A and B are shown apart, each in its own frame.
Chain A
Amino acid sequence: MPSIRPAEGVIIDGFRLERRIHNGPMSSLWLVSRDGDPTPMVMKLPSLAEGEDVSAIVGFEVERMILPRLTGAHVPRFVAAADLSRTPYLVMEKVEGQNLAEIADAAPLPPERVAELGARIARGLQELHRQRVLHLDLKPANIMIGPGGDAVFLDFGLSRHDELPDLLGEESDVPMGTGAYIAPEQIEGDRTEPRSDVFALGVILYELVTGRLPFGNPQRKAGMKRRLWKDPTPPRKLNPACPDWLQEIVLRCLEVDPYQRYATPAQVAFALQHPDQVTVTERGKRWRADGPLTVLRRWLRSGNPRWERKPPISEQVVGAPIVMAAVDLGNGVDALGELLRIHARRALDVDPQSRLACVTILKTALLQVESGVDAQGNNLYVQRLIALKDWARPIGLDDERVSVHVLEAVDAAAALIEYARKNQVDHIVMGARANSALRRYLGSVSAQVVAEAPCTVTVVRLAQP
């Protein structure tokens, strides 16, 4: 295999090696430049020396396949690559910002900061999953927090793209990942589970809020497998400042059974962004890890875990939607409100782990200070919240699948669109009133939402006679 020895000043396919910024067992990273191109770039050169781990080569191949297929703010932009028939390399745009590992050095961090960072990572992860890629090696060292606050993911050497052959698929006996962060099903060789990334995210959240790793940092499969039966010390025991809702989120991400975790990263982000809407169960209130008897019972049962065969990754990613029902409660629950409820139910029925965000708008006047209190002195905000809960109750969802939000806004459509964007809503269900001269003049809220929403929109209208 022809190979150039990397050194400062060496030029590979027009890229000049400026400075080595990382030298690991699998690869080295160099800052590179190219004539007439001001973009700061990084070249990754896999280690191909005699006797090196073959997984370095496979990992390079995997990343070389996947990175060019990814776009957006949460991945380094692909620039160029050469394959193993020449000097193999991968050039990508340099990611600015701070490595999460540096941020994690200061852990335990304040809970609000943990929630904010966690939501950013979860939102980025959702974008990754939407592009049909599971990262499968999430850890602080592989996450950058960019200058704008976006999480950017690095190192796709262990990743899985739903539409590409899994070059690591035949290695199913060896756990592939990082001992501290790897999900239980990954230890057993399952590389098809989007919730594996949710588990790793849970480990990261745990680390940020406690300063400790929930399962230590085992290097061997036997040590990694302990997490199948030995639950971690609850974060609140290690950091009393950790609120119960945050512990609830962290421990739910860390559930052994993937189906007990959040279904998607977007649902984790949603919970982290709406602490008041998190249903705190026994998980969040726990003060100690399970006793030896419970652990022993789980150990006995864990002899032969069988992860079910699942639908394709792409179906799973769209499978558990966040449905947002935009409910107009100006006139109470009328016929349109009832019809909206039926359609919201249908949108939720696609997946038992879907969740519903009920949203209503409390119009605030443009030029007057909103008192928030009506003529009888009742708090309008609280009234709407109560009315919204009442609207949602007949749908019959468990508390943890539904949340209610009153948005105070001047522009209803803009507020709904912004909410959908921020919460990575998959499907908006909203009503539209019958046409009227006034509506034609003012323009309808639903028309604007349909035009600008970042997702699917169902507009519900009562049949016209």
Chain B
Amino acid sequence: MGKREVTSALLTAIFADIHANREALTACLADARRRGAERLVFLGDMVGYGADPGFCVDTVAAEVAAGALAVRGNHDEAVGDLQASMNPDATRAIQWTRGQLDDRQKAFLAALPLTVVEDDVLWTHANGWAPGDWGYVRSEIDAERSLRATPYRLTLCGHTHSPMLYHMAPMRPPVAFLPPRDKPVPLSRTRRWLAVLGAVGQPRDGDPAACYGLLSDSPPELTMARVPYDADAAAARVRAAGLPESLAARLLNGR
């Protein structure tokens, strides 16, 4: 490696789709601290699917009290929304989750904003065009829709559980780039970027290791960090809680 520019870079760790996975969240937080992350952002879906919603909400709430950012995901919203429409497994899990959380924890989730904007950066759970409608960014077409709907240079979201990076030059369609595991990707300032973070607590890209993002502001770089964690323990808790078997199995194969 050559020399980097001399700057005081701020390193932000980004956690999307924790989904009540205590083991994955703990492992990712420890990894982020070890790598020197100074700031934390939680991109929604702290609960749902997994067996430790209380622990995960308390952990996020404590970080938010200490200055971290957090936005609301569809599962967080569904805790307080009895009309929420989800697939059968998710619905069963969210019904179970409601019984696990106390009023204070539910109030924390309900009070989270859908989006946060800092300078030219948009933080949101699902997309930029209608953050509360929970549409997915799964393609270059979706990415273009999101980028064209907002003026921000950088959009960071989650929701799909599969990491992907889209870049768009002026007057051009966006191009998808699958960020390699643990490799910093420079985010050139001459174009706009949309990063879909992989999931901390329920990866679906075929790699069961927990995924979180590390964003450096100078030079602007994003790393999709992967953290192998005790997925067997997390799956055992899902089973012990009586949640659907498929929710345990997918933690082990990352699908």
Residues of A at the B interface (CB closer than 8 Å) are: 54, 57-58, 61, 65, 67-69, 71, 77-85, 163-167, 169-171
Evaluate contact between A170 and B175: CB separation under 8 angstroms.
Answer: yes
Stretch at the interface among B81-89, B185-193, B204-212: B185-193
Which residues of B sit under 8 angstroms from A169, Cβ to Cβ?
175
The 0/1 profile, CB within 8 Å of A marked 1, for residues 46-76 of chain B is 0000000000000000000000000000000
**Is B131 engaged at the interface, CB distance under 8 Å to the other chain?**
no
Partner of B191, one of A67, A83, A167: A167
Which residues of A sit under 8 angstroms from B169, Cβ to Cβ?
58, 167, 170
- Contacts A61-B190, A65-B186 supplied; 15 other A-B pairs, CB < 8 Å: A58-B169, A61-B188, A67-B2, A68-B3, A69-B2, A78-B2, A83-B189, A84-B189, A85-B189, A163-B183, A163-B185, A164-B185, A165-B167, A170-B169, A170-B175
* Alpha-carbon distance A164/B186, docked complex (angstroms): 8
The 0/1 profile, CB within 8 Å of A marked 1, for residues 5-37 of chain B is 100000000000000000000000000000000
Instruction: List B residues 159-177 near A (Cβ within 8 Å).
Output: 165, 167, 169-170, 172-175, 177
Which residues of A sit under 8 angstroms from B4, Cβ to Cβ?
68
Evaluate contact between B172 and A57: CB separation under 8 angstroms.
Answer: no
* Alpha-carbon distance A80/B6, docked complex (angstroms): 10
* Alpha-carbon distance A83/B188, docked complex (angstroms): 9
Evaluate contact between A58 and B190: CB separation under 8 angstroms.
Answer: yes
Sorted nearest first, the 3 A-B pairs with minimum C-beta distance are: A78-B2, A68-B2, A165-B177
Partner of A167, one of B3, B180, B188, B219: B188
Which residues of A sit under 8 angstroms from B175, Cβ to Cβ?
165-166, 169-170
**Is B117 engaged at the interface, CB distance under 8 Å to the other chain?**
no
Which residues of B sit under 8 angstroms from A81, Cβ to Cβ?
5
**Is B240 engaged at the interface, CB distance under 8 Å to the other chain?**
no
- B4 CB to nearest A CB, Å: 8
- A93 CB to nearest B CB, Å: 10
For residue A70, which residue of chain B has the nearest CB?
B2
* Alpha-carbon distance A289/B190, docked complex (angstroms): 47
**Is B111 engaged at the interface, CB distance under 8 Å to the other chain?**
no
Task: Show 13 A/B contacts (Cβ-Cβ < 8 Å), sorted by A.
Answer: A54-B170, A65-B188, A67-B2, A68-B2, A68-B3, A71-B1, A77-B2, A83-B188, A83-B189, A165-B175, A165-B177, A165-B185, A166-B175
The 0/1 profile, CB within 8 Å of A marked 1, for residues 116-146 of chain B is 0000000000000000000000000000000
For residue B173, which residue of chain A has the nearest CB?
A170
For residue A66, which residue of chain B has the nearest CB?
B186
Evaluate contact between A79 and B183: CB separation under 8 angstroms.
Answer: no
Which residues of B sit under 8 angstroms from A167, Cβ to Cβ?
167, 169, 188, 191
* Alpha-carbon distance A169/B168, docked complex (angstroms): 10
Evaluate contact between A165 and B165: CB separation under 8 angstroms.
Answer: yes
* Alpha-carbon distance A267/B73, docked complex (angstroms): 53
Which residues of A sit under 8 angstroms from B170, Cβ to Cβ?
54
Residues of B at the A interface (CB closer than 8 Å) are: 1-5, 165, 167, 169-170, 172-175, 177, 180, 183, 185-186, 188-191, 219
Evaluate contact between A166 and B173: CB separation under 8 angstroms.
Answer: no
Which residues of B sit under 8 angstroms from A68, Cβ to Cβ?
1-4
- B5 CB to nearest A CB, Å: 7
For residue A65, which residue of chain B has the nearest CB?
B186
Which residues of B sit under 8 angstroms from A69, Cβ to Cβ?
1-2
Evaluate contact between A84 and B172: CB separation under 8 angstroms.
Answer: no
For residue A78, which residue of chain B has the nearest CB?
B2
- A160 CB to nearest B CB, Å: 12
- B202 CB to nearest A CB, Å: 26
Which residues of B sit under 8 angstroms from A163, Cβ to Cβ?
180, 183, 185
* Alpha-carbon distance A81/B219, docked complex (angstroms): 11
- B52 CB to nearest A CB, Å: 35
Which residues of A sit under 8 angstroms from B2, Cβ to Cβ?
67-69, 77-79
* Alpha-carbon distance A78/B5, docked complex (angstroms): 12
Evaluate contact between A170 and B3: CB separation under 8 angstroms.
Answer: no
* Alpha-carbon distance A172/B5, docked complex (angstroms): 32
* Alpha-carbon distance A80/B175, docked complex (angstroms): 28
Evaluate contact between B189 and A170: CB separation under 8 angstroms.
Answer: no
Which residues of A sit under 8 angstroms from B3, Cβ to Cβ?
68, 78-80
Evaluate contact between B177 and A84: CB separation under 8 angstroms.
Answer: no
For residue B187, which residue of chain A has the nearest CB?
A165
* Alpha-carbon distance A57/B175, docked complex (angstroms): 18
* Alpha-carbon distance A67/B4, docked complex (angstroms): 12
* Alpha-carbon distance A163/B223, docked complex (angstroms): 11
- A137 CB to nearest B CB, Å: 19
For residue A92, which residue of chain B has the nearest CB?
B2
* Alpha-carbon distance A166/B178, docked complex (angstroms): 11
Given A163-B183, A165-B165, A166-B177: A82 touches B188 (CB 8 Å cut-off): no
Which residues of A sit under 8 angstroms from B185, Cβ to Cβ?
163-165
For residue B169, which residue of chain A has the nearest CB?
A170
Which residues of A sit under 8 angstroms from B173, Cβ to Cβ?
170
For residue A162, which residue of chain B has the nearest CB?
B180
Evaluate contact between A80 and B188: CB separation under 8 angstroms.
Answer: no
* Alpha-carbon distance A351/B232, docked complex (angstroms): 37
Which residues of A sit under 8 angstroms from B5, Cβ to Cβ?
80-82
* Alpha-carbon distance A81/B2, docked complex (angstroms): 10
Evaluate contact between B172 and A170: CB separation under 8 angstroms.
Answer: yes
* Alpha-carbon distance A163/B177, docked complex (angstroms): 9
- B11 CB to nearest A CB, Å: 19
- A290 CB to nearest B CB, Å: 38
* Alpha-carbon distance A112/B150, docked complex (angstroms): 61
Which residues of A sit under 8 angstroms from B165, Cβ to Cβ?
165
For residue A172, which residue of chain B has the nearest CB?
B175
Which residues of B sit under 8 angstroms from A164, Cβ to Cβ?
185-186
- B137 CB to nearest A CB, Å: 16
- B145 CB to nearest A CB, Å: 16
* Alpha-carbon distance A61/B177, docked complex (angstroms): 17
* Alpha-carbon distance A80/B4, docked complex (angstroms): 7
- A67 CB to nearest B CB, Å: 7
- B192 CB to nearest A CB, Å: 12
For residue B167, which residue of chain A has the nearest CB?
A165
- The CB with the most chain A CB atoms within 10 A, among B1, B2, B5, B191, is that of B2
* Alpha-carbon distance A71/B1, docked complex (angstroms): 7
